[in-house]
Amino acid sequence: MSFRFARYPVLSLAGFLTLGALRISAAPADTIYLESNSAAGNSIFTYTFNFTSAPVLKSTTSAGGIGVFDSTFALGPFDSDQNLVENASGTLLFAVNSGSNTIAVFNIDADGSLRAVTGSPFPSGGSDPVSVGVKGDTLVVVNKDQDPAQAGTPAGAVLPNYTTFNVSPSGQLTPVPNSTVPVAMGSSPSQALIASQGDVVFGADFLGGLLQSFKLDENGALDQNLPTALPNSIFTGLTGGHLPLGMRTHPFLPILYVDITPVSKVAVYTYDYQGRLNFVRAVGDAGAAPCWAVVNHAGTYLFVTNTGDNSIEVYSLADPLNPTEVQHFVMDSNNGGAVFSTVIDRSDNWLYVSSEQSSASASVAANAFHTLKIGDDGMLSEPFAPTALPVTSTPAVRVQGITVF
């Protein structure tokens, strides 16, 4: 894949800052989807939450494939985001089957129930798919190639990659010709982030220490930019590695926020129409090991999930280029679990945080999710106990992925 080096203007920040913080009207209930990631058979758990009592399990639906499990709990295999996402209209749900190299696609009925689309699951275009992002009728897939069960096999020998698919109106996936972009073996790509501004996709090569960026062309193919290394200035006087993980863009400004896990910092970048990045600064995180992030729809708060101390760092985005910490919220330890992926509902009133069994000694009940209330000032509270997911200790699992609609 050739690189383009032509200069593009950075998207203007002027004008956007006066849009104000408009809270979206609340729906009567949220539907929350999580993925079992079981190597014995992957499933999607559907929960409903009426905002007054704890979420309730509505159904369990087979994803038609299997997940992954690494008994060593090493960095890499379990470090990913957006394992499942819905399209903008809430009519299709996309989920990874990491252990069988496929993408499951479901119709979402009006009541939130799932029905597999004809032909699902579809080949992922690589080994160990871990993240999906959707932009219109284009699906972006990250194939991590770190499933321990596939090591040494033809599938496991495939380089990790970013690739795209056309999505038909009924949900079928067709590979976009010449869309696959391989990255270095062992780089552990983790996320297919669709930018809020322009036809841009971002990725984090977690163990490779690089940020990837792409422009989606009119056919849905990826036009790769030169990968971006994290600035050395971030690590001055520190011993942690250059490991970027969770990313989010501001909802209406061309700003990218990147978690730097080993040094507990969040990097701030601006980007242009091609997706090229310009580093602005890094801000500290009072928690340990920031791994995932979300920005509310109003663009007023950034929430960063710290796996190391089971906390959420809340930042004010009054100045979106200089996030300011306003709360360090430590959650229920939940039987030895560690918090992972995070999503925010349409009303900006509720934050859902998945929790996983983080070691062999942790209880299987650590596979759960937290339901956090967001105040008007961005402050978090946890009015309900964590919701344990219906998985068993045999076979062992680490539940992956959460989304809400």
**3-state SS, one letter per residue, for the chain:** CCCCCCCCCECCCCCHHHCCCCCCCCCCCEEEEEECCCCCCCEEEEEEECCCCCCEEEEEEECCCCCCCCCCCCCCCCCCCCCEEECCCCCEEEEEECCCCEEEEEEECCCCCEEECCCCCEECCCCCEEEEEEECCEEEEEECCCCHHHCCCCCCCCCCEEEEEEECCCCCEEECCCCCEECCCCCCECCCEECCCCCEEEEEECCCCEEEEEEECCCCCEEECCCEECCHHHHCCCCCCCCEEEEEECCCCCEEEEEEHHHCEEEEEEEECCCCEEEEEEEECCCCCEEEEEECCCCCEEEEEECCCCEEEEEECCCCCCCEEEEEEECCCCCCEEEEEEEECCCCCEEEEEEEECCCCCCHHHCEEEEEEECCCCCEECCCCCEECCCCCCCCCCCEEEEEC
Return the pLDDT at 392. Answer: 85
CA distance 180 to 183: 10
Return the pLDDT at 18. Answer: 44
Return the pLDDT at 103. Answer: 98
pLDDT value at 154 more than 70: no
pLDDT value at 152 more than 70: no
**Closest by CA position to 49, among listed 24, 27, 31:** 31
pLDDT value at 20 more than 50: no
For residues 322-345, average pLDDT: 89
Q: How confident is the model at residue 72 (pLDDT cuts 50, 70, 90)?
A: low
Please state, rounded to an integer, the average pLDDT across all residues of the chain. Answer: 90
Return the pLDDT at 120. Answer: 98
Annotated domain spans of the chain = 31-404
Q: How confident is the model at residue 179 (pLDDT cuts 50, 70, 90)?
A: very high
pLDDT value at 21 more than 70: no
Ramachandran angles phi, psi of 235, nearest 5° = -105, 10
Topology at the third CATH level for domain 31-404? Methylamine Dehydrogenase; Chain H (2.130.10)
pLDDT value at 14 more than 70: no
Q: How confident is the model at residue 153 (pLDDT cuts 50, 70, 90)?
A: low
Query: 155 is written with which tokens?
Result: 């599938």
pLDDT value at 11 more than 80: no
Query: 11 is written with which tokens?
Result: 């998207």
